[in-house]
A and B are shown apart, each in its own frame.
Chain A
Amino acid sequence: MDKEKVIDLAKLARIDIDDKEAESLSHEFDVILNYVGEIKNTKVLPLISDSQGKTLGNIMREDVKPHESGIYTKKVLEQAPMNEGYYIKVKKIL
């Protein structure tokens, strides 16, 4: 994997990395991908979604009995780096 690709991936992941790290990651990824790539060559069954497993499936619950509005808001908002009133604050987007 070349350095430029690592930089593109870091952008996708929204992580600032410098050139030196991108360079070293490109070598490390080659080694790791070479190892994990062994499964690409193994003949395996097609993905069977739930054909035999009865345990796989979505578990839903009724969307009822919400807690009283606002009772946790203050506690949760206290953890936000920036807040104003009952809102989390971010910089202007547009």
Chain B
Amino acid sequence: MPDLANLSIKSARDALQKKEFSARELAQASLDVIKEKDKDVHAFLEVFDDVLAQADEADKKITKGENLPLLGIPVAIKDNILVDGKSATAGSKILEGFISSYDSTAVKKLKDAGAIILGRTNMDEFAMGSSTESSAYGVTKNPHDLSRVPGGSSGGSAAALGAGFVLGSYGSDTGGSIRQPAAFCGTVGLKPTYGRVSRFGLIALASSLDQIGPFARTVSDAEILYDAIRGQDILDSTTISDETYPKEKKFSKIIGIPRTFVESEGVDESVKKNFEKAVEKFKSLGYEIKDIELPHIQHSLAAYYIIMPAEASSNLARFDGVKYGLHKDGSDVIEDYFKTRGQGFGKETRRRIILGTYVLSSGYYDEYYGSALRMKELITDELKEAFKKIDLILTPTTPTPAFKIGEKISNPLAMYLEDIFTVPANIAGLPCISLSSGFDGVLPLGIELTAGLGREDNLFIAGKEFLGE
């Protein structure tokens, strides 16, 4: 039987090709550990009933001599990424019972790469949150300390990996929803350049920021998972090609640190200490460390919490109880809408839709939404300029280690501040990776590397060196 705890995707693929174990045995090992431990963690909303059938198909292909990048590897998918014929709820009651009628491009590519789609993982409702507490289907727990959150919104995918249920999983990242839970659960988490991965079949939160990306144990595995899903797609006109952002600068091992930003109020002492250790480690690996000034970066979060609810209020208008999902009956069509949306959306979703409606309403549009767009452009230009002189930016991933379940749920602003270090990459569309950088007691901590547009290659080089791969 394969020993999941000591495998990477790379080593599992080698073993599968050498027939040291079968895809069925590998899938069964995942199913067994999920059955034993997921009642405590609650990473999965559903484990699909055709996992072993998928594994048998993979075994047939291996026997035929096929060699695909993810052939026979079980992966977990966040509950907002559509799989044909399977349920997808985005963690919301309003989509309870919804069955996807098509594959998202990411899932189609995964199937083409031979992956086994194991099941769908828990998430904050419509990806709105940093703790997975706003899911309509219960809280996911941090596998390192069950009294704490796994982070969010892709908390289920991060916890599934952190708990050793799978070798790889996927989430979506609008303001940090892959990187923050990756840091809390001690995994690698990658948000690719905006447009690198097709959003076709991803249930939208904020379309100008959303991006699908992988969680993995190692940077090498993250790269495999990323390569499997990336690419231009005619079904998402915001996708980019390899030529969109020419690689003008040669990698020269220069890391910039926005000191004022890193020393923001509210950053935990344990995080600061851990961060300085990481800086020293990069120095010892031959990296040049430079302090940089990014005067507007601290406004990223404010701009984000205007742009994101604005786009969410528009995107979520499609849930009306008519086309799919929940329907609550009123006396007429309009009352059907009000009841369906009032009862189908959870508290945080209602809050953000109403806030988004406000910042887009006549009289406030320019003051809030217009200012936020201008700020987004300014921050993007500022970062673009910075990457002419440096290769990477280093910050902590989160201001604190994983917090207690319930600690921040009643204070929306405190929850929003969790995203302070992750949001700039979404605002500027940059690729960004969170790497596990040690522990505060039993709680994992993470550091985050950001690269210039289209420069995932730099993240992989530095990430592998940092983790000693």
Residues of A within 8 A of B (CB): 1, 6, 9-10, 12-17, 21, 25, 28-29, 31-33, 35-40, 42, 44-48, 52, 55, 58-61, 72, 75-76, 78-82, 88, 90-93
Interface contact B353-A13, CB-CB below 8 Å = yes
Contacts of A90 in B (CB 8 A): 322, 333, 336
Contact of A82 among B327, B343, B345, B355 (CB under 8 A): B327
Known: A16-B341, A79-B323. A39 touches B371 (CB 8 A): yes
Per the 8 Å Cβ criterion, residues 92-112 of B in contact with A are 98-99, 101
Q: A48 vs B354: C-alpha distance in the bound complex, in angstroms?
A: 28
A28 nearest in chain B by CB position:
B412
Interface contact A6-B354, CB-CB below 8 Å = yes
A-B contact pairs, 17 of them (CB 8 A): A6-B354, A13-B341, A14-B338, A15-B345, A17-B350, A35-B302, A37-B302, A39-B299, A39-B302, A44-B296, A45-B374, A55-B245, A80-B324, A82-B327, A90-B336, A91-B332, A91-B336
Contacts of B323 in A (CB 8 A): 79-80, 88
Contacts of B303 in A (CB 8 A): 36, 39
B376 to chain A, nearest CB (A): 10
Question: Contact string, B335-375, partner A, CB cutoff 8 A, digits 1/0?
Answer: 01111011101010011011111100100000110111111
A-B contact count (CB 8 A): 140
B306 to chain A, nearest CB (A): 5
Known: A39-B372, A45-B378. A15 touches B342 (CB 8 A): yes
B377 within 8 Å of A (CB atoms): yes
Interface contact B101-A72, CB-CB below 8 Å = yes
Interface contact B313-A13, CB-CB below 8 Å = yes
Interface contact A16-B342, CB-CB below 8 Å = yes
A66 to chain B, nearest CB (A): 14
Q: A29 vs B372: C-alpha distance in the bound complex, in angstroms?
A: 17
Q: A12 vs B165: C-alpha distance in the bound complex, in angstroms?
A: 44
Contacts of A33 in B (CB 8 A): 368
Known: A13-B353, A13-B354, A79-B98. A36 touches B368 (CB 8 A): yes
Contacts of B5 in A (CB 8 A): none
Contacts of B367 in A (CB 8 A): 40
Known: A12-B357, A42-B375, A79-B323. A36 touches B306 (CB 8 A): yes
Q: A8 vs B372: C-alpha distance in the bound complex, in angstroms?
A: 24
A58 to chain B, nearest CB (A): 8
Known: A39-B371, A91-B336. A32 touches B350 (CB 8 A): no
Additional A-B contact list (7), CB under 8 Å, known A35-B416, A79-B101:
A13-B353, A14-B337, A17-B350, A28-B413, A47-B377, A81-B326, A90-B322
B264 within 8 Å of A (CB atoms): no
Interface contact B305-A81, CB-CB below 8 Å = no
B448 to chain A, nearest CB (A): 22
Per the 8 Å Cβ criterion, residues 402-447 of B in contact with A are 412-413, 416
B84 nearest in chain A by CB position:
A75
B374 nearest in chain A by CB position:
A44
Interface contact B355-A29, CB-CB below 8 Å = yes
Known: A40-B367, A80-B323. A9 touches B361 (CB 8 A): yes
Q: A91 vs B322: C-alpha distance in the bound complex, in angstroms?
A: 10
Q: A58 vs B237: C-alpha distance in the bound complex, in angstroms?
A: 8
Contacts of A93 in B (CB 8 A): 333
B234 within 8 Å of A (CB atoms): yes
Q: A39 vs B377: C-alpha distance in the bound complex, in angstroms?
A: 13
Known: A16-B342, A32-B305. A91 touches B333 (CB 8 A): yes
B321 within 8 Å of A (CB atoms): yes
Known: A40-B367, A75-B101, A82-B327. A13 touches B357 (CB 8 A): yes
Q: A46 vs B413: C-alpha distance in the bound complex, in angstroms?
A: 28
Contacts of B333 in A (CB 8 A): 90-91, 93
Interface contact A44-B327, CB-CB below 8 Å = no
B373 nearest in chain A by CB position:
A47
Interface contact B299-A46, CB-CB below 8 Å = no
Interface contact A47-B370, CB-CB below 8 Å = yes
Interface contact A35-B413, CB-CB below 8 Å = yes
Contact of B354 among A25, A45, A61 (CB under 8 A): A25
B284 within 8 Å of A (CB atoms): no
Q: A9 vs B355: C-alpha distance in the bound complex, in angstroms?
A: 8
B265 to chain A, nearest CB (A): 13
Determine which residue in A21, A81, A88, A92 has the highest number of CB atoms from chain B within 10 A of its CB, and name it.
A81
Interface contact A16-B343, CB-CB below 8 Å = yes
